[in-house]
Amino acid sequence: MKIHERKFVTADPDKCVGCQVCEYVCSMTKEKAFNPLKSRIRVVRINQLANLAVTCRLCEDPPCVAACPRDALTQSETGVIIVDKDKCNGCGWCIEACDYGAIMLHPENKIVYVCDLCKEKGEPQCVKWCPEEALEVTTSDVLAQKARITAVKKLFHEAMKESK
Amino acid sequence: MLGYAGRILHVDLTSGKTQVEPLNGEMARTYVGGIGLGIRLWLDNSQAGVDPFSPDNPLVLTNGPIAGTMWPTGGNGHAFVSKSPQSFGVGEAKAHGTFGTELKRAGYDAVIVKGKAERPVYVWIDDDAVQILDASQLAGLSPAETEDAIREELGDYYIRVAAIGVAGEKLVRIACIMNDKTRAAGRTGLGAVMGSKNLKAIAVRGTRDITVAKPDEFMEYVKEFHERMKGPAAQKYRTLGTPENVLVHNSLSCMPTRNYNNSRFEGAEKVSGEVLNEKYVAKIIGCSSCAMRCEHMCVVAEGPYKNTMTRMEYETLWALGPYCGVDRLDAIIKGMQLSNYYGIDAISAGVIVGFAMDCFENGILTQKDLDGMDAHFGNAETVVQMVEKIGKREGIGDLLAEGVKIASEKIGKESGKLAQHIKGVEVTGYDLRSLKTAALGFAVSFRGADHNRHGAYAFDVKGKVNRLIAEKGRGKMVKDMEDTYNLIDSLIVCKFSRGTYYKELDDMAKLYTLVTGFDMTADELKKAGERIQNAAKLFNIREGLGRKDDTLPYKVMHCPVPDEGPAKGAYVSKEELDLLLDDYYEARGWTQMGVPTREKLKELGMEDLMCIAEPKEA
């Protein structure tokens, strides 16, 4: 898989306001019900100014897959983590292994679940619905590009201010 | 019927017992939810004349049929209803955030708390398991600290909490109930009712699924409203926010200033929404499931109040600012943050401070009485200190914590003329002398002085009527607005979103239908809005309030606007008030004394409450 093909959902901390619309639309899409506890993306609000929606980053060499003692988790060609429902017994080692809290135990069927980029819908519904356009499907490389551009713009902005 | 959880939780803090009762579907539909259902449940679970601080005064918590869904602004609201320790009539207040939606997922439409615990407790609602837990370690904490402490103690960071602060514990009559750090069920002092029960907080975790009757159509409708919320109807809230009103009201000369001594403020430019946004707003955030963003989080970056962070709205900015003659936004933000910290209604807090300053300037209260504070109008430090004292009932704060009505009764010396309240609840940021449709709305508001029971100021401010005259026809205008506002507060959707319901009741009826599966019509909803108003009126009648209480503050009726400008000389005379009241009662189908008639109650299917309107002679 080429670097520009491994896309995942990420939230812009400057734009995310913690409204949880992503959680509701995710649980509706995946579980036909409104229930944040069954959403593949979860919102964290540390305080009113610090909000961020967090979901699977599709890590290279994913620790969740490595941690699974029953080989229930595999990573697909596109990077999405695939859960073998027959093999998973809900032990939760993958949950501990994930640095982002992105893989979770389903409250009812007691096996783990994780973002699959809404493969059946063709695009992640959280991204489509986010009222702030804070979510996007992107790649590590594009994220790095954006960070660079922001930094350089800021640098020149300061420089231009000083030259006045 | 979907939308409703179908269950009411009863909690008796005296006996420590809890019990679940099925929700009557007929009652749910006829009283909708929110304040409507809450008022009805309060009436059914209390005795006439109960003292607000008695264990027998139920504190009713409700959400609405929309709660738990992803309806923008509607998924997340909750309401508290009880007998107010300020008005001794209807006490009700709503808040949004994440608490109401969690309560729905826990499986409840309402929680009715009665009794009084022996020591501080909190109620922990974990789906079906309900426990009353010791809260002695939480005493003295702010609502925000309480929220964090409970999450830590129970070990789940997604638990939602509604709590009181020190003010509620100390029965400050303007105490509020707060959730999500900055959201308050603010008005009418229900935090003190909670405190009187030794109830520090209600913590909830809900894990149930919420489904709607017509999911596909519902999602389409959500999408449509997301689009509407990006449009002009919600633009104000996304940009300057309600503080935009500062300059608007000031230019119309309808911003009560220095405890109603003026109607415009020379320092308005310094405390405008424009300056607030430019200098202090760090981020605009939103509630759970909402597609609007209204919550303007302000941070003070320098000066004596450095590192203060809080939400600001027009009303609280006005109360702690122009109403006290204060033109310093940093101090206003500090006053707001302290109000949240101690858990008091910052509107009432500002009006009380303005009252105390007026008393000081008129020689009714001395600097000694005021713990040495220099209480001239405009002294920003004094406002901050006084808010803190009220929150803690410390020094003069103990007296002021009673609210302007009771405090002025204790002070005497003509101070009653300076106490700007209706039914014991402090006024809000609309100068009623030159807004006569609003004046009627405020006078008849069942929870005392308030703009949020009718929004009738809109007719005046937008120039749809001549705001300076009282005339027939205003009664019907106020009535229709009240009915709609009752529905907004019962469904519970957010008032900031009201403009996005382009077809108003038709849109609300469609929403109700898609969620519940019950085929609701605009007519039936309208009737429900009217029914809720009548129930609230009967609540007040049963508790001894009548036409004499549908009145206006002294200065509104006796002190004409002195300032040059469009409102100069305006006030509301007794004759004008009587004309407006007669017109309104007639539009409501009530008697001249403002009592719902037998015919009206019959029409609304409220025969079972007839005994309140027509009590049998003992």
Residue B1 lies in a domain: no
Are A49 and B297 an interchain contact pair (Cβ–Cβ within 8 Å)? yes
Contact A34 B208 (CB under 8 A): no
ipTM of the complex: 0.93
Q: How many CB atoms lie within 10 A of CB B16?
A: 13
Q: Give the single-character DSSP code of B257.
A: B
Q: Cite the DSSP H helix spans in B106-189.
A: 143-154, 166-169
CATH number for the domain including B372?
Answer: 1.10.569.10
| Domain match, B55 and B106 both | yes
- Closest residue in A to B295 (Cα) is A48
Residue B51 lies in a domain: yes
Cβ neighbours of residue A57 under 8 Å, at least 6 residues apart? A8, A10, A100, A102
- Select the residue from A14, A19, A27 to test the B interface by mutation, using most B Cβ atoms within 10 A: A19
B291/A21 touch (CB, cutoff 8 Å), yes or no = yes
Measured distance CA(B48)–CA(B158) in Å, rounded? 39
CB distance B255 to B461 below 8 Å: no
CA distance A31 to B60: 32
> Bridge partners of B18?
B11
Sequence-ordered list of residues with C-beta below 8 angstroms from that of B607, at least 6 positions apart, any chain: B601
Residue B38: which of B107, B113, B102 has the closest Cα?
B113
* Nearest beta carbon to residue A19 from set B209, B289, B297: B289
Q: Are residues B231 and B196 in the same domain?
A: no
pLDDT (0 to 100) of residue B364: 97
Count of domains for chain B: 3
Domain range for B547: 439-613
Q: Which of B69, B208, B286 has its CB closest to that of A19?
A: B286
Mutation target to probe the B interface, by most B beta carbons within 10 A, among A34, A35, A135 is A34
Q: For residue B289, give the nearest of A24, A38, A48 by CB distance.
A: A24
CATH number, residue B67: 3.60.9.10
Q: Average pLDDT across each block of 10 residues of chain B; the chain has 618 residues. List them in order.
A: 96 98 96 98 98 98 97 92 98 96 98 98 98 98 98 96 98 98 96 98 97 97 95 90 96 97 97 97 90 93 96 97 98 98 98 98 97 98 98 98 98 96 98 98 98 95 96 98 97 94 96 97 97 98 97 98 94 98 98 96 96 75
Judge contact between B73 and B428, C-beta under 8 A: no
Residue B410 and residue B526 in one domain: no
Q: Which 8-state DSSP code applies to residue B377? A: T
CB contact under 8 A, A25 and B70: yes
- Interface list for A 88-107 with B (CB within 8 A): 107
Q: Is the dihedral of CA B236, B241, B244, B245 positive or negative?
A: positive
Query: Which CATH number is B474's domain given?
Result: 1.10.599.10
CB proximity list for B97: less than 8 A, separation 6 or greater: B76, B160, B179, B180, B183, B287, B288
Q: Nearest-CA distance from B147 to chain A in Å?
A: 12
Residues near A161 by beta carbon (within 8 Å), at least 6 away in sequence: none
- Does B241 lie in the same domain as B108? no
Show which residues on chain B lie within 8 Å of chain A, measured between beta carbons.
68-70, 72, 75, 98, 105, 158, 181-182, 207-212, 215, 219, 223, 226, 229-230, 282-291, 293, 295, 297, 299, 309, 311
- Assigned domain for B536 exists: yes
CA angle B386, B389, B393 (to 5 degrees): 140
> What's the rounded Cα separation, in Å, for the pair B474 and B580?
7
User: What single DSSP character describes residue A79?
Assistant: S
Dump the DSSP string for B21-32. Answer: EEPPHHHHHHH-
Flag if A35 and B209 touch (Cβ within 8 Å): yes
One-letter identity of residue A10? T
Q: What is the CA radius of gyration of chain A?
A: 18
Q: Are strands B17-22 and A50-54 parallel, antiparallel or unpaired?
A: unpaired
Q: Which amino acid is at B59?
A: L
Both structure tokens of B33: 């939810």
Residue B214 maps to a domain: no
How far is the alpha carbon of A2 from chain B, nearest alpha carbon, in Å?
A: 35
Residue B204, SS3 per DSSP: strand
Token reading at A14: 């400057």
In a shared domain, residues B184 and B56: yes
CA-wise closest residue to B198 among B119, B97, B252, B285? B119
Residue B428 lies in a domain: no
Q: Are B522 and B390 in the same domain?
A: no
DSSP-based three-state secondary structure for B386: helix
Alpha carbon distances (Å) from B575 to B111, B469, B526, B547, B557: 44, 12, 31, 14, 10
Of A19, A48, A131, the CB nearest to B297: A48
Q: Is the dihedral of CA B136, B139, B144, B148 positive or negative?
A: negative
The pLDDT value given to residue A163: 57
Spatial contact of B170 and B393, defined as CB atoms under 8 Å apart: yes
CA distance A76 to chain B (A): 30
Q: How far is A100 from chain B (nearest CA, A)?
A: 15
Yes or no: say if B280 and B286 are a contact pair by the CB < 8 Å rule.
no
Which residue type is seen at A3? I
B113: enclosing H helix or E strand: strand B110-114
Chain B residue numbers with beta carbons less than 8 Å from the beta carbon of A36 are 158
- Which chain B residue has its CA at the smallest distance from A49's CA? B283
Tokens of B77: 């609201």
Same domain, B491 and B467: yes
Question: Cβ(B579)–Cβ(B473) under 8 Å?
Answer: no
The per-residue pLDDT for range A146-155, each reduced to its tens digit, is 999 999 998 8
Task: Assign B156 to helix, strand or coil.
Answer: coil
Across-strand partners of A74?
Answer: A82
Whether residues B25 and B132 fall in one domain = yes
pLDDT given for residue B1 in this prediction = 84
User: Could you tell me if B457 and B583 lie in one domain?
Assistant: yes
Q: Which of these three, B351, B386, B419, is where a domain ends?
A: B419
- Test B211 with A34 for CB contact under 8 angstroms: yes
Contacts of A20 in chain B (CB under 8 A): 98, 288-289
Do residue B307 and residue B383 come from a single domain?
yes
Partner residue opposite B285 with nearest CB, options A25, A32, A48: A48
E strand residue ranges, B402-494: 421-422, 425-426
- The tens digit of pLDDT for each residue in A23-68 reads 999 999 999 999 999 999 999 999 989 999 999 999 999 999 999 9
What pLDDT, on a 0 to 100 scale, did the predictor assign at position B243? Answer: 96
Distance CA B192, CA B196 (A): 6
- Alpha helices by DSSP H, B205-327: 215-229, 235-238, 245-251, 273-279, 314-320
Q: What are phi and psi of B518, to 5 degrees?
A: -85, 130
Long-range contacts of A106-109 (CB under 8 A, 24+ apart): A106/A38, A107/A37, A107/A38, A107/B207, A109/A85
Q: Residue B353: its pLDDT value, please? A: 98
Q: Among positive and negative, which fits the CA dihedral B306, B308, B309, B314?
A: negative
Chain B neighbors of A28, CB-CB under 8 A: 70, 215, 219
Which residues in chain B are closer than 8 Å to A51, comparing Cβ atoms? 285
Please check whether residue B426 lies inside any domain of the structure: no
Q: Which amino acid is at B29?
A: R
Q: Chain B closest CA to A82's CA: distance in Å? A: 25
Task: Kindly state the DSSP code that residue B559 receives in the 8-state scheme.
Answer: S
CB contacts of A41 in chain B (<8 Å) are: none
- Asked whether the beta carbons of residue A28 and residue B286 sit closer than 8 angstroms, the reply is no
A131 touches chain B (CB under 8 A): yes
Domains (range + CATH), chain A: 3-139 (3.30.70.20)
CA distance B534 to chain A (A): 34
Do residues B554 and B433 make contact, with C-beta atoms less than 8 angstroms apart? no
Q: Is the pLDDT of residue A13 over 90?
A: yes
Tokens 């008091």 correspond to: B344
Q: A35 touching B, CB under 8 A?
A: yes
Decide: A35 and A23 in contact? Cβ < 8 Å: no
Q: What is the pLDDT of residues A64-86, one digit of tens each?
A: 999 999 999 999 999 999 999 99
If we measure between CA atoms, which residue out of B135, B173, B126 comes closest to residue B153? B135
Cα end-to-end span (Å), chain A: 49
pLDDT of B288 reads 86
Phi, psi dihedrals of residue A18, rounded to the nearest 5°? 75, 30
Count of beta carbons in the 10 Å neighbourhood of residue A155: 10
**Encoded tokens for B134:** 């010791």
Residue B354 and residue B319 in one domain: yes
Contact B472, B583 (CB under 8 A): yes
B556-588 in b/e burial notation, b at 16+ Cβ within 10 A?
bbeeebebeebbeebbbeeebbebbbebbbebb
Pair (B47, B187) in one structural domain: yes
- Amino acid identity, position A142: V
Q: Give the helix/strand (H/E) hosting B192.
A: helix B190-196
Instruction: Return the residue matching tokens 């709503």.
Output: B94
Instruction: Compare CB distances from B286 to A17, A25, A33 and report the shortest one's residue.
Output: A17
Query: In the listed set B205, B229, B253, which residue is the last one of a domain according to the structure?
Result: B205
- What was the pLDDT predicted at B167? 98
β strands within B342-460, DSSP E: 421-422, 425-426
CA-to-CA distance for B122 and B197, rounded, in angstroms?
10
Interface A-B: count of C-beta contacts within 8 A: 81
pLDDT of residue A1: 65
Within a domain: residue B427? Answer: no
Handedness of CA B613, B614, B616, B617 (dihedral sign): positive
Helix axes B474-491, B436-444, angle to 10 degrees: 50
